[in-house]
Amino acid sequence: MIHSELNLLGSFMDEHKTYVILQTLIDSYVKNELTDRQQRPFDFMVGAFSEDNQQRNTYQK
C-alpha cells in the first residue's frame, strides 16, 4: 500500500520533493525511535555508504 501511495504522490509533485518527505520521515524515526545503541551503528553505516558513493563519483569523472 505504501508503494502505491508513493507512486500516486509522485504523480502530483516532482521526485525531489518525494525524497525530501522520505528523508524527513527517516530523520524523525532515527532521532525519536532508535536507541543510542542502535543509532551509533546506523550513523556509521550511513557514513560508510556516503563515502563509498563519493569515491565512486570521483572515479567516474
Q: What pLDDT, on the 0 to 100 scale, is given for residue 42? A: 94
How high is the pLDDT of residue 61?
58
Query: For residue 3, what is its C-alpha cell?
Result: 508503494
In SS3 terms, 13-60 reads as: CCHHHHHHHHHHHHHHHHHHHCCHHHHHHHHHHHHHHHHHHHHHHHHH
Domain carrying residue 39? 2-60
Give the total number of structural domains in the chain.
1
Where does the pLDDT of residue 59 fall: very low under 50, low under 70, confident under 90, or very high at 90 and above? low
**pLDDT tens digits for range 6-52:** 888 888 888 888 889 889 999 999 999 999 999 999 999 999 988 87
Beta strands in the chain (DSSP E): none
pLDDT class of 60 with cuts at 50, 70, 90: low
Please name the amino acid found at residue 5: E
